């Protein structure tokens, strides 16, 4: 059946649907980036960087690793939202190569002009936003245009980091990183807030349970997003950290109440669901830590890594492991051994947070966290490469 499907479709399997190349790139880059970073810190690995290494690491996690995952999910989900055909073949390859070009120039920033590095790196998000926006407008799916606006703002945040790298505005790298964290948090609030309760209710219904225990409120969803997005202007009030703390506290409470209403413990028997609930809970932890940072004098790395190593890592792997199964015509059952993916990424987030809060030896905990992170993404690649690189199990195109 697989051979017949391939004969009927000249498009290579890896370019048949956006989640296929972008999820593999996310897995590869997630493992490689953190492994290289720890090797740089503790093993003397030389990186040909023309920018501050710590800022480079933050940039690549946010604008390299995370944006690949966003592209894979957004371009795939749009087809469900609109009924539009997927971006595939040469068009998909061109977009993936544009992302890859950004990673190459960032790794070679020590030998390339920084203006060229910025020009290449800044091209991916606008290309993604323009394509996705045109599809949403053409199919009159105006509800999801908010995500396109966030991609535009994320491009601005990336531009600020490059202003910092070039020395034009040295504070720009730090400001851009914080704004990117705020915006990615908002994107997760939107995406996770739609799929987590919906998937949980559907699962309960399928098992003969009561989907009504999963409660949703459009008003609460709207306020959770508004307050999370409000962190962007609040964080631009440089020198007024208390304002950002108050907004983060309100956003944390709103998102925490929303997660509580979803009653995630009812899905404790399904790993593909409870991992999404835990990912959303990490966002709440990060927002509350952000609120406490200026008030209690915490290290900002605590909320940043609760959001990064915790929420982003957990949600990205949770979404990729589920979407990859559903969109390749396979049962929504976690492959054997894949629970280790979740165990290791949760370990990575918890230990990295402990390091940021000075609750453990920095060198040892950072090494353990990095090892957990790399193992999580490496196991994802091993188990999901056959799923993502082969035709659909049901013989359908895509």
CATH of the domain at 266: 1.20.210.10
Reduced to 3 states, what is the DSSP secondary structure of residue 101? helix
- In a domain, residue 237? The reply is yes
- In a domain, residue 394? The reply is no
Q: Which domain does 62 fall in, by range?
A: 2-389
Q: Which helix (H) or strand (E) holds 377?
A: helix 362-389
- In a domain, residue 128? The reply is yes
* Share in percent of the chain as helix, strand, coil (round to 5): 80, 0, 20
Q: How many domains does the chain have?
A: 1
Q: How far is CA 46 from CA 30, 37, 62, 73, 116, in A?
A: 19, 10, 22, 33, 22
Question: 42, 53 in Cβ contact below 8 A?
Answer: no
Q: Give, to the nearest 10 degrees, the angle between helix 362-389 and helix 313-326.
A: 10
Q: Give, to the nearest 10 degrees, the angle between helix 145-166 and helix 172-206.
A: 150
d(CA 243, CA 227): 12
Question: Mind listing the pLDDT tens digit for each residue in 315-371?
Answer: 999 999 999 999 999 999 999 999 999 999 999 999 999 999 999 999 999 999 999
Question: 112, 105 in Cβ contact below 8 A?
Answer: yes
Q: How far is CA 51 from CA 63, 66, 112, 120, in A?
A: 15, 20, 11, 16
DSSP 243-300: HHHHHHHHHHHHHHHHHHHTTGGGGTT-HHHHHHHHHHHHHHHHHHHHHHHHHHT--T
Burial class (CB in 10 A: 0-12, 13-18, 19+), 261: middle
- In a domain, residue 288? The reply is yes
d(CA 304, CA 352): 10
pLDDT at 3: 45
- In a domain, residue 85? The reply is yes
pLDDT mean by block of 10 residues, the chain; 398 residues: 48 96 98 96 89 95 98 96 95 98 97 97 98 96 94 98 95 96 97 96 92 94 96 87 93 98 95 98 98 94 97 98 96 96 98 96 96 98 97 88
- In a domain, residue 398? The reply is no
For CA atoms 142, 323, 121, 173, give the dihedral sign.
Answer: positive
**What does the chain come to in residues?**
398
pLDDT at 398: 82
**Which DSSP category does 94 fall into?**
H
Burial class (CB in 10 A: 0-12, 13-18, 19+), 50: middle
pTM of the model: 0.95
Q: Which two tokens stand for residue 10?
A: 């000249």
pLDDT at 359: 95
Q: Which two tokens stand for residue 378?
A: 């490496």
pLDDT at 5: 43
pLDDT at 9: 58
Residue whose tokens read 């997927």: 86
pLDDT at 209: 86
pLDDT at 7: 41
E strand map for 43-200: none
pLDDT at 54: 94
- In a domain, residue 397? The reply is no
- In a domain, residue 225? The reply is yes
Q: Which two tokens stand for residue 134?
A: 């045109």
Instruction: Give Dmax (Cα) for the chain.
Output: 63
Question: 349, 283 in Cβ contact below 8 A?
Answer: no
């Amino acid at each position: 059946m697989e051979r017949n499907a391939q004969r009927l479709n000249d498009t290579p399997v890896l370019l048949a649907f956006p989640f296929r190349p972008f999820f593999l790139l996310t897995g590869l880059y997630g493992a490689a980036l953190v492994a290289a970073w720890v090797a740089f810190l503790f093993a003397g690995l030389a990186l040909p960087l023309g920018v501050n290494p710590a800022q480079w690491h933050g940039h690549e996690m946010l604008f390299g690793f995370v944006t690949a995952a966003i592209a894979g999910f957004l371009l795939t989900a749009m087809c469900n939202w609109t009924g539009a055909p997927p971006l595939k073949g040469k068009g998909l390859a061109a977009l993936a190569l544009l992302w890859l070009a950004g990673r190459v120039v960032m790794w070679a920033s020590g030998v390339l002009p920084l203006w060229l590095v910025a020009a290449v790196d800044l091209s991916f998000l606008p290309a993604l936003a323009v394509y996705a926006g045109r599809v949403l407008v053409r199919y009159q799916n105006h509800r999801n245009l908010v995500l396109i606006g966030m991609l535009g703002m994320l491009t601005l945040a990336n531009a600020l980091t490059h202003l910092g790298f070039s020395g034009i505005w040295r504070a720009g790298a730090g400001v851009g990183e914080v704004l990117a964290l705020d915006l990615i948090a908002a994107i997760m609030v939107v995406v996770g807030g739609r799929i987590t309760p919906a998937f949980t209710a559907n699962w309960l219904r399928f098992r003969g349970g009561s989907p009504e225990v999963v409660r949703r409120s459009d008003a609460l969803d709207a306020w959770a997003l508004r307050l999370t997005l409000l962190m962007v202007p609040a964080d631009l009030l440089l020198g007024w950290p208390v304002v950002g703390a108050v907004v983060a506290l309100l956003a944390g409470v709103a998102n925490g109440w929303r997660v509580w209403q979803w009653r995630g413990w009812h899905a404790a028997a399904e790993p593909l669901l409870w991992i999404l609930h835990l990912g959303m809970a990490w966002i709440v932890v990060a927002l509350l830590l952000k609120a406490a940072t200026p008030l209690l004098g915490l290290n900002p790395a605590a909320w940043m890594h609760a959001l990064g190593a915790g929420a982003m890592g957990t949600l990205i792997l949770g979404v990729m492991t589920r979407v990859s199964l559903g969109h390749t015509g396979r049962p929504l059952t976690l492959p054997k051994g894949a629970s280790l993916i979740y165990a290791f990424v949760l370990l990575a987030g918890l230990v990295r947070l402990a390091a940021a809060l000075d609750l453990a030896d920095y060198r040892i905990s950072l090494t353990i966290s990095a090892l957990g992170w790399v193992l999580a993404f490496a196991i994802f690649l091993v188990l999901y490469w056959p799923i993502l690189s082969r035709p659909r199990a049901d013989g359908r195109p895509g």
